């Protein structure tokens, strides 16, 4: 009798251990804090993966730059599978997968619709698949809006950039872009920008309105000039080895989950851009609309002409995705 009970307990404990080991936990890195549109999409992705794999996979999100405030470091962590999944800017991932640098060409897309026509089309999806030689599996694109300059001194026109120092993501094309516009570029991790502006190491940076809030930059840079020089899509991607360990069914579940978060993120993004813009205005941010972007486009014309041939096929597909007027 006693023996039987022990045997039963042993069986039950074994089953529990099996259940525990059957659930795999994957880490996901996100530089933005909880509630930011990409972070909400990460959460949605985690929820759907769990649901579609019947609880087999749990994704633990590390938001707010907990893994690192430097996306280059985050990507290196994904490369060695210390973290299996991350959401980063294509501006940062371009350092590991050169085809993505096309997005670092200023004024590439006319609008968000143009960008999404391209990203959701066959070429945009192929670019995700082409992350593979870099050791990654591209899961989906997210919206990162348009990036514009902001500074701790008044910005009204391109001439105001002259001789000033602006932070860019560590990426050569972005350095050249800022230089073509007349300023000096200081490549730096996102996590260092707040104190660099505060201490006067740099005069400003460039980003979308939501990031002015998530990184608190609106507190140290009160002038924001909406020249909208870049649309850098965000990318959700995974370590290739971790992906290869998933069964075919689980891979399909991950893909389905990622695909379903895209519309969710875009909706959250559009709503948050308005909310973020209103919030920084209420906090005293001086926002200047740029009615005529021609001087900005002219300043980068030669740079775009020099750099474009390296992305000829992609640019052809981007031109073809331009919405008909």
Q: List Cα–Cα distances, 117 to 109, 112, 125, in angstroms.
A: 10, 9, 11
Q: Which of 124, 144, 204, 233 binds ligand BDP (CB under 6 A)?
A: 144
Decide: is 70 part of the binding site for ligand BDP (CB under 6 A): no
In DSSP terms, which residues pair with 286 in a beta bridge?
223
Nearer to ligand BDP, 26 or 88 (CB): 88
Question: For residue 68, what are its two tokens?
Answer: 């690192």
Task: Give the E-state strand segments of 91-160 in sequence order.
Answer: 136-142, 147-151
* Interface of this chain with ligand BDP, residues 195 to 234, rule: CB under 6 A: 207-208, 211, 234
Decide: is 43 part of the binding site for ligand BDP (CB under 6 A): no
**Nearest alpha-carbon partner for 102 in 112, 114, 94:** 94
Nearer to ligand BDP, 206 or 250 (CB): 206
Decide: is 143 part of the binding site for ligand BDP (CB under 6 A): no
**Nearest alpha-carbon partner for 145 in 44, 27, 248, 275:** 275
State the virtual CA torsion across 261, 262, 263, 266 in degrees, nearest 10. Answer: 120
* Interface of this chain with ligand BDP, residues 266 to 295, rule: CB under 6 A: none
In DSSP terms, which residues pair with 58 in a beta bridge?
25
Decide: is 42 part of the binding site for ligand BDP (CB under 6 A): no
Mind giving me the DSSP string for 49-111?
HHHHTTTSEEEEEE-TTSS-S-HHHHHHHHHTTSSSEEEEEHHHHTTTSGGGGGGGSTT--SS
Q: Are 147 and 185 in contact (CB under 8 A)?
A: no
Q: Which of 31, 67, 140, 177 binds ligand BDP (CB under 6 A)?
A: 31
For tokens 């990318």, the residue is 235
Q: Which of 28, 46, 85, 88 binds ligand BDP (CB under 6 A)?
A: 88
Decide: is 28 part of the binding site for ligand BDP (CB under 6 A): no
Q: Which of 42, 43, 71, 160 binds ligand BDP (CB under 6 A)?
A: 71
CB of 83 to ligand BDP, least distance (A): 15
Rounded distance, CA 199 to CA 203, Å?
9
Terminal CA-to-CA distance of the chain, rounded, Å?
83
Rounded distance, CA 155 to CA 162, Å?
11
CB of 104 to ligand BDP, least distance (A): 12
Nearer to ligand BDP, 57 or 165 (CB): 165
Question: For residue 16, what are its two tokens?
Answer: 């529990």
CB of 78 to ligand BDP, least distance (A): 13
Q: Which of 190, 202, 213, 321 binds ligand BDP (CB under 6 A)?
A: 190
Nearer to ligand BDP, 203 or 234 (CB): 234
Decide: is 104 part of the binding site for ligand BDP (CB under 6 A): no
Residue nearest to ligand BDP as judged by C-beta position? 190
CB of 29 to ligand BDP, least distance (A): 10
Decide: is 170 part of the binding site for ligand BDP (CB under 6 A): no
CB of 92 to ligand BDP, least distance (A): 6
CB of 124 to ligand BDP, least distance (A): 18
- Angle, vertex CA 184, rays to CA 183 and CA 185, nearest 5: 115
Rounded distance, CA 309 to CA 248, Å?
38
Q: Cα dihedral sign for 232, 236, 242, 247?
A: negative
CB of 178 to ligand BDP, least distance (A): 13
Decide: is 84 part of the binding site for ligand BDP (CB under 6 A): no
CB-count exposure of residue 149 (10 Å: 0-12, 13-18, 19+) = buried
Decide: is 90 part of the binding site for ligand BDP (CB under 6 A): no
Q: Which residues bind ligand BDP (CB under 6 A)?
A: 31, 71, 88-89, 144, 169, 190, 207-208, 211, 234
């Amino acid at each position: 009798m006693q023996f039987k009970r022990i045997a039963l307990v042993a069986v039950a404990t074994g089953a529990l251990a099996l259940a525990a080991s059957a659930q795999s936990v994957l880490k996901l890195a996100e530089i933005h804090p909880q509630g930011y549109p990409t972070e909400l999409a990460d959460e949605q992705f985690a929820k759907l993966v769990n649901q579609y794999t019947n609880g087999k996979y749990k994704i633990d999100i590390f938001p707010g730059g907990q893994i690192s405030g430097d996306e280059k470091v985050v990507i290196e962590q994904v490369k060695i599978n210390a973290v299996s999944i991350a959401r980063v800017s294509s501006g940062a991932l371009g350092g590991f997968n050169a085809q993505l640098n096309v997005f670092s060409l200023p004024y590439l897309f006319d609008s968000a619709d143009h960008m999404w026509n391209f990203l959701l089309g066959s070429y945009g999806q192929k670019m995700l698949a082409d992350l593979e030689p870099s050791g990654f599996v591209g899961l989906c694109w997210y919206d990162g809006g348009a990036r514009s300059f902001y500074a701790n001194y008044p910005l009204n026109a391109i001439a105001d950039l002259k001789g000033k120092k602006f932070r860019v993501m560590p990426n050569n094309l972005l350095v050249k872009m800022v230089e073509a516009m007349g300023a000096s570029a200081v490549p730096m991790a996102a996590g260092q920008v707040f104190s660099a502006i505060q201490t006067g190491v740099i005069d400003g940076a460039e980003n979308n309105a939501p990031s002015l809030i998530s990184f608190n930059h609106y507190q140290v840079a009160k002038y924001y000039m909406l020249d909208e020089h870049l649309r850098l899509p965000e990318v959700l991607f995974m370590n290739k080895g971790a992906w290869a360990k998933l069964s075919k069914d689980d891979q399909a579940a991950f893909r389905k989950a990622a695909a379903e978060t895209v519309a969710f993120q875009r909706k959250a993004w559009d709503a948050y851009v308005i909310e973020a813009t209103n919030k920084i205005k209420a906090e005293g941010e001086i926002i200047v609309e740029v009615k005529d972007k021609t001087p900005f486009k002219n300043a980068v014309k030669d740079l775009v002409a020099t750099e474009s041939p390296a992305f000829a096929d992609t640019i052809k597909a981007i031109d073809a995705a331009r919405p008909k007027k």
